[in-house]
Amino acid sequence: MEERIRDRQRLLLALLLSGSIAVAEGVGGWLTGSLALLSDAGHMLGDVSAIGLSLLALWFASKPADVKRTYGYYRLEILSALLNGFILLGITAYILYEAWERVNNPQPILLGPMAAVAAVGLAANLASLSVLQHTHSLNVRGAFLHVLGDTLSSVGVLIGAGVMWLSGWFVVDAIISAIIAVVIVVGAVQLVREAVDVLLEAVPAHVDLEALRAIMLKVDGVSTVHDLHVWTISSGMYALSAHLVVADPMVCNNDTILSAVKHELLERFGIDHTTIQIESETYAHAGEVH
């Protein structure tokens, strides 16, 4: 719970910084006639929207579970992360389109004011990155990727301003924009893949299912493990369900077996939400009873 409160605080501060940068770049782009700054302001507005969605999802996730939604609203965080990933991909497509337009029709830019506004944006983005780093939340990581894209964009604008000032070659702006787009799309694809894996209840990336099964089989009294499932509920929140088959004389030692298995699961894989059924070797499942 404390970690989620800190995540909300991080996102709120990043939202305020990103919103301020978007306004500053929009005004700066309009005053200087810089298409690069105007485009970056639009990019920032997309990020403001995405971070706002992340905050909304975290707020819903804090609501308690009920009889209909027994896991609460944790999955809204994952849905928001998925949406953020698609927004990033959309922004990337727009950047590439704009880059192509600038290659075909480069426009002169007031480089001094452009560089000044970009420098202010870079400083604010670096502050946002320091706020959003070191978290396991997919939502905050999504926001981090948004701000990282903005930071790279600010660096690209500054480098482009320097090169254009020295050479007068305004097409440099388009080339840097395309490089930034490639960097953003790599992170966006990874974010979408991880969110989809969670929604498909895939085995978490840090869990080797066969190694986990072998660890459970090493517990004294356990002879077979079946119906083994491991999935992610939300960022850093993992669940497991399994059936443990034990020799008939061991059935009376349920608590000992459960404690040993759960200790291994928590210690080695960070899985603390478990549903484990212990059954004897002679137990017949419902579908097997005639």
DSSP character string of 263-280: HHHHHHH---EEEEEEEE
| 227 phi and psi angles, rounded to 5 deg | 50, 45
Amino acid at 89: L
User: 141 exposed, middle or buried (CB, 10 Å; 0-12, 13-18, 19+)?
Assistant: buried
Q: Are 150 and 21 in contact (CB under 8 A)?
A: yes
Query: How, if at all, do strands 222-234 and 237-246 pair?
Result: antiparallel
Taking the C-alpha atoms of residue 114 and residue 33, their distance in angstroms, rounded to an integer, is: 9
* Start and end residues for every CATH 1.20.1510.10 domain found in the chain: 2-199
Closest Cα partner for 274 from 243, 234, 235?
243
The per-residue pLDDT string of the chain (290 residues; one tens digit each, 9 = 90 and over) reads 566 677 777 788 888 888 888 888 888 877 876 767 777 777 777 677 777 777 776 677 677 777 787 777 778 778 888 888 888 888 888 878 887 887 888 777 788 888 888 888 888 888 888 877 766 666 677 778 878 878 887 887 788 888 888 888 888 777 877 777 787 788 788 888 988 998 999 999 889 999 999 999 998 888 899 999 999 987 778 899 999 998 776 666 788 888 999 999 998 888 988 999 988 877 756 555 44
* Start and end residues for every CATH 3.30.70.1350 domain found in the chain: 209-288
Question: Tokens 């970056």 map to which residue?
Answer: 40
CATH architecture under which domain 2-199 falls: Up-down Bundle (1.20)
Q: Are 123 and 65 in contact (CB under 8 A)?
A: no
Taking the C-alpha atoms of residue 101 and residue 171, their distance in angstroms, rounded to an integer, is: 10
What's the CATH number for 209-288? 3.30.70.1350
Taking the C-alpha atoms of residue 26 and residue 113, their distance in angstroms, rounded to an integer, is: 13
